[in-house]
Structure 1
Amino acid sequence: MTTTPRTRVRTALLPAGPVRLMSLAGGEIEPVRQVFAGLSPASRWLRFHTGMPSVPERYLRQLATVVPGERHVVVALAGGEAVGHGEFTRERGEPARAEIALAVHDSWHGRGVGLALISELAALAAALGIDEFTCSTLRENTPVRAWLRRCGATVHGDGVDFRFDVAALLAAVREHGPHAVAAHPPASAPRTESSERSTACA
């Protein structure tokens, strides 16, 4: 099985300026801590469904975990600070499908970081033979649900689960540019349930 590149670094040119997208080797907690320290109480609630004042260290370790070929993590860096976190985890029994999760520092909402992360994850996933992304989001999280639809996602199951085609997303970004799906970015980014299944997606 082909493994995901562990040291890939790419620069995305966003309207707000250049952002570096760096694949983690695994265990780099500090950039992950920077991203999640920048979430407001509302964003933490949407992500974890609890009013915790900060993200516990055990969650940070989990969010920084990489398993080559199975779980991949990308952070977005601007001016030396980590402002976004994205991950995909290949679904058990469905090797062509992966759950995705994104988080963007509140001060960087609406600047295209979420799309840059999801596009990078899609490119990395496609190289591994993953052709479908899934995620779930709360019904009341209308900005994220609208953003997912602009990314080509469709609703499945009980109305909180979304699926979208990796190749179609990459083709849309190549053809129309990031603004094709990022004209009105979400207030907080989609996420999947963690392996501990502590929360649903925000």
Structure 2
Amino acid sequence: MTRNMCDETSVNNGRPVRRWRRDAVELAALLRTWWASRHGHAPPAEDPGVETGTAPDTGASVLWRMRTTVKDEPGSLAALCIALAERHIDILSLQTHPLAQGTVDEFLLRAPGDLGAAEISESVSGAGGTGTWIERADAHDLVDAPTRILGLATRTALDRAELPLALRQLLGRCTIRSLPGGDQPARAGVPVEGALEETDTVMRLRAPEGGVITVERPYLPFTPTEFARARALVELDARLGARVPHGQDVLTLPRGNAITVRRADAGDLDAAKAMHERCSPRTLSLRYHGPMGDADRYLGHLLSPRFGRTLAVQTASGRVVGLGHLLWDGDETEIALVVEDEWQRRGIGGELLRRLVSMAREANCEHVYAVTQSSNTGMVAAMRGLGLPLDYQIEAGTLVITARLDASPVAAPLSYDHSVRD
């Protein structure tokens, strides 16, 4: 069903949000001062002599993200903050998400290293919190919410391909799927303002270019505030229209040929089809794994910024001779390459692959995978050249190579005579 959204800082179920909730961060700071006055330090405690009812603190601390629902009444948040303070847990940030019944409070916490998620949840439950969800956080979560959201909006404004990534970073671990504009039945079922399903774990938004964007997060229901933020990003994307970064790198290959590597989009469809015509059936079969007549049909999807990012390699005369794709596949990220026969074995595939992996890292992807045939020794060599941990799975001649991105590459890039960025 469709919900009426409200501003988390101004309206709560049709009435103004109470000042005590708007001042929650100041309240947390006061609690820290109160705790320091009683114990001589602010949480988290690092004095192994302090009696806490648990094992002595080793001095290590852990970041946690936590959500819990509390009653929308004065004193409920204060009780929660006191319970956390008694556990030597420091509140680094706090956001509130008003609901029709109660309020979801989202915390970034720094807790003693010997304090586990179950113990934190138990304390929160004892203070009146319900439906508590908690997971480990990292340094990226230390950026305050307004700054992070403005950064996502800026990235979306500069590059249309950023929208799925921005949504994922805005909403955390979630699955994002796009239905094409031709799927009119799906689009007809979604109102213009979007819809948050009754379970609150699925939101549907009308894509700017047609079709529907579906976002699923089964482990944690979306709040009305999150839905409003997601809808605002989609509306921003729609208002700005088609766009792609215009930067490009001009490189000289070891054999002396000059090439340009740049971002590509639907405007390169004709050039990509012309490249297909110059490719051998074997080259196309290694890339598309199906009837050769279907290769051109994939290009509209591959070049759409809604489904990922594409890099094009073109010669000095402007002819496209290679394409590299980074594709958002639900929770996964696929990487794919095709290089025209005449330009193979010149380092172009490896260059594209390194750039695509760098883009995946920037998008906070944990790993990428490539699907090819087991006989494609060129792709296997290019993946190995990344210097990353690889996993190989072979079935019926199809090879899936997965690269883990949490390790630093050890392979050096190819040597080029010069590199110029426009």
Give the alignment's TM-score, normalised by structure 1: 0.70
Q: How does 1:90-169 map to 2 (within 5 A)?
A: 90-92=328-330, 94=331, 97-152=332-387, 154-158=390-394, 160-166=399-405, 168=407
Change (3 A) 1:49 1:99: closer
Give the SS at the match of 1:30: helix
Deviates more, 1:114-123 or 1:155-164: 155-164
Q: Does 1:9 align with 2:248?
A: yes
Q: Does the CA-based 8 Å contact 2:324-2:352 persist in structure 1?
A: yes
- Measured after TM superposition, the shift of residue 72 of structure 1 is 0.4
- Measured after TM superposition, the shift of residue 120 of structure 1 is 2.0
Change (3 A) 1:49 1:87: closer
Give the SS at the match of 1:137: strand
Q: Does the CA-based 8 Å contact 2:310-2:323 persist in structure 1?
A: yes
Q: Does the CA-based 8 Å contact 2:392-2:400 persist in structure 1?
A: yes
Tell me what 1:40 maps to.
280
Tell me what 1:198 maps to.
none
Distance 2:292 2:402 in 1: 29
Tell me what 2:326 maps to.
88
Give the alignment's TM-score, normalised by structure 2: 0.36
Q: Deviations over 1:101-131 (max 9, x none)?
A: 1000000000111112112222322222224
- Measured after TM superposition, the shift of residue 77 of structure 1 is 0.8
Q: Does the CA-based 8 Å contact 2:361-2:405 persist in structure 1?
A: yes
- The higher relative CO (CA closer than 8 Å, separation ≥ 6) is in 1
Distance 2:319 2:348 in 1: 13
Q: Does the CA-based 8 Å contact 1:75-1:85 persist in structure 2?
A: yes
Distance 2:347 2:393 in 1: 29
Distance 1:106 1:121 in 2: 21
Tell me what 1:188 maps to.
none
Q: Does the CA-based 8 Å contact 2:374-2:394 persist in structure 1?
A: no
The one-letter code of the counterpart of 1:77 is Q
The one-letter code of the counterpart of 2:414 is P
Root-mean-square deviation (CA), in Å?
2.7
- Measured after TM superposition, the shift of residue 88 of structure 1 is 0.7
Q: Deviations over 1:23-44 (max 9, x none)?
A: 1243430232233222101112
Distance 2:263 2:335 in 1: 15
Distance 1:82 1:167 in 2: 32
Distance 1:13 1:147 in 2: 19
Change (3 A) 1:157 1:60: closer
Distance 1:147 1:122 in 2: 12
Q: Does the CA-based 8 Å contact 1:32-1:64 persist in structure 2?
A: no
Uncovered stretches (5+) of structure 2, i.e. residues with no partner: 1-151, 160-243, 416-422
Distance 2:277 2:294 in 1: 7
Instruction: Give 1:178's match in structure 2, choosing from 377, 395, 414.
Output: 414
Give the SS at the match of 1:28: helix
Q: How many residues align?
A: 170
Q: Does the CA-based 8 Å contact 2:366-2:406 persist in structure 1?
A: yes
Distance 1:167 1:9 in 2: 27
Q: How does 1:39-78 map to 2 (within 5 A)?
A: 39-50=279-290, 52=292, 55-56=295-296, 58-67=297-306, 71-78=308-315
